Amino acid sequence: MAPSSLPPTPPSAVIIVLLFLSYAALLCESMLSLDYYSKTCPSFTKIMQETITNKQITSPTTAAGTLRLLFHDCLPNGCDGSILISSTAFNKAERDADINLSLPGDPFDLIVRAKTALELACPNTVSCSDILAVAARDLVTMLGGPYYTVYLGRKDSRSSSASSIEGKLPKPTMGMSQLIDLFASSGFTVQEMVALSGAHTIGFSHCKEFSSNIGNDTHYNPRFAQALKQACADYPKNPTLSVFNDIMTPNKFDNLYYQNLPKGLGLLESDHGLYNDPRTRPFVELYAKDQNKFFQDFAKAMQKLSVYGIKTGRRGEIRRRCDAVN
C-alpha cells in the first residue's frame, strides 16, 4: 500500500480542534430551551401542572407566596434555587436571612412535592430552579394573569449564604430612589420595576411591615387607615396578622392594584411611593388604565427576571433534594 501523501496533523491543530469541540460542548450544555426536558423527562409538564393545581386548590395563598419566593431567589444572586437550601449547624442559608423569615411555607412545600414526583419519574434530571420558575408562571396564569414562556435548563447553586443577599432585596420602608437604584443594579428599568410591583395584586403583607406608617403617612385613605388600625390592633401579640395587598380582588391577578394607589388604598410605604414619585407615577397611571399593557410588560419583566444570573452547564448542579446541596 502506498504511503499516505497527507502530511501529519501538527499537535497544535489537534489542540485547537479539541478546544473547539470542548467549547462547543460547553456552549450546548449551557443553552436554555423551551423543550429542554422533552427527551429526558417527557412527563415534566404534566407532573408540574398536576402538583401545582392540587396545591393551589388546597392552599390558595400558594400563588402569591411562590411568586415572592421566585423574586427573593432571583434578584439577589440570580435564579439558582439558593433560597430553597436549609441552614445547617455550619451555615446560615438565605432563607434564614431576616428579610426572608416572613416567606410562607406553602411555596417551599410546593417545590418539595414537585421535586419528589419528578425524581420518581426522571431521577436527577430536573433542577429545583427550573421547578420554581415554571411554578411561578403557572400560578400567575391560574389566577388570571398573563402566560409567558419560561426557558429551561437552569442548574442549581451549590451554596447559599444569608450574608450574600444583604441589601439586595427591596424593603417596604425604602424610598423610591433606593428602590430604583436597587433594581437598576440588577439591570431593571424603572418601568420594569413598576410592572413587577404589580405582583402585589395578589397576596398579603404582615401588619409589622406597614403598621408604624398608618398614623404618619397622609397618603392613606382615612377610612382605609382606620380599618387597617383595627385589623392590626393585636399584631404585637400576634405577629402573623396580615392584610391583603389588593383589598378589592385579592385572589385575582389583574390591574386593580394600580387603580387602588391613587385612591390611597396602597398597603405599603413603597406602594404609595410608586404613585407619588414623578418617575414612577406615569407607569402606575398607564397600567391602571390598560390591563393588557400591564400584562404585556409584566410578562416581559418576569421573563427577564426568570433568566437573571442563572447558572448553566458545569457552574451548577441538579440537586437531588431542593433543600440541600448534593
Q: Which sequence positions are flagged as catalytic?
A: 72
* Residue 169 Cα distances to 56, 61, 163, angstroms: 26, 22, 12
* Length, in residues, of the chain: 326
Which grid cell sits at 128? 429545583
What is the Cα–Cα distance from 74 to 71, expressed in whole angstroms?
Answer: 5
Per the listing, cell 406553602 goes with 106
Nearest-5° Cα angle at 281, 73 to 74? 5
**CB-CB contact of 51 with 117 (8 Å):** yes
DSSP type of residue 323? T
Which grid cell sits at 9? 496533523
Give the number of other Cβ atoms within 10 Å of residue 119's Cβ.
17
- Which amino acid belongs to residue 285? E
Q: Please list, in sequence order, all residues whose beta carbon lies within 8 angstroms of the beta carbon of residue 161, skipping any fewer than 6 positions away.
A: 91, 92, 93, 94
**CB-CB contact of 76 with 169 (8 Å):** yes
Q: Please list, in sequence order, all residues whose beta carbon lies within 8 angstroms of the beta carbon of residue 164, skipping any fewer than 6 positions away.
A: 76, 77, 94
